[in-house]
Amino acid sequence: MRAVLGAAISVVAIWLVLRGVDLARVGDVLRTADLRWVAFAALLSSLDLSFRALRWQRLLRPIAHVRYLPMFGYLLIGYLANNVLPARLGELVRSHYLGDREAISRASALGTVVVERVVDLVAVVAIASAALLVLSVRGVVASAVYVGAGVAGLFLVVLALGIVAHRLPGADRARALVDRWPRVRELARSLQGGLQVAGRPRTLAEALLASAAAWTCSILAFAAVGQSIGLQLTIGQAALIGSGVALASAVPAGPSNLGTFELAAVEIGKAIGVPAETAFALALLTHATILVVTSVGGAIAFTRIGWRRGEVSRPGPELSG
């Protein structure tokens, strides 16, 4: 059902974009692209991914020490899976790979991915909100960012509840009920162990710093692609487009967020005075660059790691000091 819904959202988004642009003019813009700037954007996207791998490694550190290069590989495989699977199912794929190859509970691995997604959402909302203030943008774009801020707040509350679930009123009764199913109990315990990394100030600070570095690269990549087609984006404009596209990508859509990525870029472009055709060309080039980087990187990582399964998984993590 989730896959069908995601595909439907992508189709609707693509239709909304195509009905509002002149494809011939989009083609004219794309033909003028300076591929040197696109290559620079690809380099920035690679750096963006490297910082995201570092962030995930630091979030996992209280549970287990995993070398950076394997973490980078698991992340890239997850992004490759997102490129071919709907509704961001690649997050489950990389959680599986991490748990399988590093003998860590897959539920704990998924818990760290959930924390990573929440940290990313908070960072995106902060960037978009700052860009709105700098650019004085109102209307639909501002409303979408406000909705994103509300969703981020909700996720923070849910994450906090997940961390302290064992201390909440009625926890003993719930624990007694879950104890009837040992497998469920272990999964819940492992998942909570993964979520609890968010309660460690140093770990959270390291994740936020890595997020800042990753998003700096991502924003500069949008600006570089803009340069390639003669679009002089300010840092504020590039930040609003990049963060707005990321917020739209949080909506479960088809593979690689096809459609929602482009629709968000076009609508934000209109809000800051960029013609729809130019904004669409910017979205297509940036999206294609990201897809090439993640697909090639993911394919290389998959070739090196392969399908081989690990021996065992730990039933549940013990957070280190």
pLDDT, tens digit (0-9, with 9 covering 90-100), for 265-287: 999 999 999 999 999 999 999 99
The structure tokens listed for 126 are: 């902060």
CA 210 to each of CA 54, 207, 271: distance values in angstroms, whole numbers, following the listed order: 7, 5, 30
Give residue 301's pLDDT band: very low, low, confident or very high (50, 70, 90): very high
Q: For the residues 36-57, what does the mean pLDDT come to? A: 98
Check the CA dihedral 140-142-148-151 and report its sign.
negative
pLDDT, tens digit (0-9, with 9 covering 90-100), for 143-166: 999 898 898 888 888 888 877 765
pLDDT, tens digit (0-9, with 9 covering 90-100), for 77-123: 999 999 998 878 899 999 999 998 998 998 999 999 999 999 999 99
Amino acid symbol at 165? A
pLDDT, tens digit (0-9, with 9 covering 90-100), for 123-137: 999 999 999 999 999
Q: Three-state SS for 34?
A: coil
- Rounded CA-CA distance 171/189 in Å is 13
